[in-house]
A and B are shown apart, each in its own frame.
Chain A
Amino acid sequence: MARGLRRCPTDSGVSMFVGTVSPSGVPAGCRAIGAVSGDELATLTVYVPMATSHEVLANIAATRRLAVVATYPPDHSTVQVKGTTTGVRLAADAEEAIVRERLESFADSLDVIGIPRRVTRAINHWPVFAIDLKIEEIFEQTPGPKAGTPIR
């Protein structure tokens, strides 16, 4: 995990959502299944289902702006990262294992708060697009007076 963060978008078990805005200022978003980073959150690859992400992809094709929020449902600890998209591609077969693991760990954390795993496993999670992002800002987003405080 990157330094100074209580919660990280690459954590297992988090609920993730990506937000975008069209050139005319209309926001849109979709759920993400997971994310990976090999450089302490200098960059991030976030996976969004092909079935539900067409509006998000259209927006980032035009604006390249992306916000990603990750929250851990049992304790609401939350982080938001913002940045510029550097590439979008269909995820490779080799990435399917990480996507499946993230959905399974998300099912585990929802199970803790009473939502059965079988329900969560019905979320469409493959194929996915991989959105590569250069992170420019990181914010503490846990509900409370410090929500919105820049971390980096």
Chain B
Amino acid sequence: MTRLGDLSRCFQGVVPCVVVTSDARGVPNVTYVSQVYLVDEEHVALSCQFFNKTRRNLDENPRAFVEVMEPLTLQTWRLRLRFLRSEKSGPLFDKMALRIEAIASHTGMAGVFKLIAADVFHVESFEKNEGFLVDGPPDAGEQISVDGLRSEVRGLQYVSEQINRAECLEALLEAVLDALDKYFGFEHTMVLLPEDNGTRLVTMASRGYGESGVGAEVAMGEGLIGTVAREKRLLRISGLDSEMRYGRTIRRESGSVAPEVPLPGLPDAQSALVIPLAISGRLIGVIAAEDRDPLRFGEWHEAYLEIIANQIALGIDRMFEREHDDDVVAVTQSSAPAAGGSSARRTVTYYKNDDCVFIDGEYLIRNVPGRILWKLLRDWDREGRTEFSNRELRLDPSLGLPAIKDNLESRLILLRRRLDEKCPELRLVPTARGRFALQVEGRVELVER
């Protein structure tokens, strides 16, 4: 016997669903909705974003008919519903609102395109729409969840081991992304950590994006990642393209001119899973995974990744604490090849008004990591210094590091990686515990503006 949960792909928002209601006079109304939410085996919910005809009809006649579609085969299922209540707060409302807010923020509709209520229905019956397809649906393949179940425990064990084993933040982040790839098959992932007193997030590690991922920024509350960071709640979106088109339609209809926030990763992502890393309500970071398969991320991923996210958050936080306690080595061996020859000439420009550093006119880094680089280069230029310690950076008031939880290690990782990508003639190389060297190849001209 088919359970409602067996139709989970129908409830992922890849294909819009249809809702039929009726007013008290018996006049039917049909509307497309972007998604029907599966609450449990006996309940579903619809998002109420506008006080529309469907909503008014339900107050007059609580019966509703919904048709959902399996996105891989187009097989449809019919649900007979009875309206129970509108929820304007609580876990279900929060979960549905997060998704809508994230899409709204991404499409420049924050505050306009929002959830008014989660309308909850009892599923009185449901049945397959027999005869809808000529030969019945082809096998849509069930191996995704089976694979997941098989590897989930190993994945948890692996992540725990790697977190405990990691000697520095960089190794920990790499291990996390490696585990997500190895045990969950997530090929496009990134870890972002908060910067600037939590006003923005900066990509500290990425996988599957080539070299361009590290350093990419997202403002707090903006787009999918920024919304998850602000709300500190996990977000899984299937059929991202469909959701975005829906959001863009409402944006067009509302006459909004707010710009769309570009996705930080794959330009053609079809699904996304964004996981907050938080401890007792304090945001530690965000892990984002994307895929071109609209159904890549399943329900089981949410449950297990929330457990893993707790461990990762604790691991990162421990790393920051430890860093402060004993000034652990903050930079690891650079992975970039040594610069070829010494003939290269680079111009490093520091814009003091906004703490931005450019290399040969191309943006490199800003804020605290930018100030750190400028201090290192100035000391090297004026005094010929090449050896530095984490402790002296912490004590230098011009860098503006906070007294506690300064995230120095993550800032040095970001700086080193950006240099590896954009200016391999400048390298930060560890020399001893809590110490590192600035290596300069070729000629470097410093300009302050």
Contact = CB atoms under 8 A, between A and B. Distances in A.
Nearest to B61: A25
Nearest to B27: A65
Contacts of B27: 21, 65, 67, 82
B26 A21 contact: yes
B30 A68 contact: yes
A27 B53 contact: no
A17 B32 CA distance: 9
Contacts of B131: 49, 51-52, 124
Contacts of B50: 144-145, 147-148
A146 B253 contact: yes
A67 B29 CA distance: 6
A119 B28 CA distance: 30
A5 to B, nearest CB: 15
A110 to B, nearest CB: 8
B249 A145 contact: no
Interface string A100-128: 00000000000001110001101110000
Interface string B61-92: 10111010001111010001000000000000
Given A120-B74, A124-B133, A23 B26 contact: yes
A10 interface: no
Given A26-B63, A113-B241, A119-B73, A66 B28 contact: yes
Interface stretch (B13-21, B275-283, B408-416): B13-21
A134 interface: no
Nearest to A17: B18
Contacts of A21: 20, 22, 26-28
A38 interface: no
A82 B23 CA distance: 13
Contact of B18 (A29, A73, A144, A148): A29
Contacts of B15: 115
Contacts of B80: 26
A15 B242 CA distance: 15
A75 B251 CA distance: 12
A83 B294 CA distance: 38
A80 B20 CA distance: 12
Contact of B67 (A17, A123, A142): A17
Contacts of A23: 26
Contacts of B16: 15, 71, 73, 76
Given A19-B30, A65-B26, A76-B246, A123 B132 contact: yes
A138 interface: no
Interface in A6-63: 15, 17-21, 23, 25-31, 49, 51-52, 63
Contacts of A74: 245
Contact of B65 (A27, A73, A77): A27
Contacts of B253: 142-147
Nearest to B60: A25
B250 A143 contact: yes
A20 B242 CA distance: 27
B333 interface: no
Interface residues of B, number: 47
Contacts of A145: 50, 250, 253-254
Interface in B1-41: 15-16, 18, 20-22, 26-32, 34
B424 to A, nearest CB: 40
B52 interface: yes
B28 A52 contact: no
A143 B244 CA distance: 13
Interface string A72-104: 011111101010000000000000000000000
Contacts of B28: 19-21, 27, 29, 65-67, 82
Interface string B239-280: 001100110011011100000000000000010000000000
A28 B132 CA distance: 15
A27 B64 contact: yes
B74 A80 contact: no
B26 A63 contact: yes
A51 B245 CA distance: 32
Nearest to A25: B61
B108 to A, nearest CB: 14
A25 B80 CA distance: 12
B139 interface: no
A52 B132 contact: yes
Interface of A: 15, 17-21, 23, 25-31, 49, 51-52, 63, 65-69, 71, 73-78, 80, 82, 113-115, 119-120, 122-124, 139, 141-148
Closest 7 CB pairs of A and B: A144-B253, A51-B131, A19-B30, A19-B20, A21-B22, A76-B249, A19-B28
Interface of B: 15-16, 18, 20-22, 26-32, 34, 50, 52-53, 61, 63-65, 67, 71-74, 76, 80, 129-135, 137, 241-242, 245-246, 249-250, 252-254, 270, 294
22 contacts: A17-B32, A17-B67, A21-B22, A25-B61, A25-B63, A26-B65, A27-B20, A27-B65, A28-B20, A28-B65, A49-B131, A67-B28, A75-B249, A77-B249, A114-B241, A123-B132, A142-B253, A143-B250, A144-B250, A144-B252, A145-B254, A148-B50
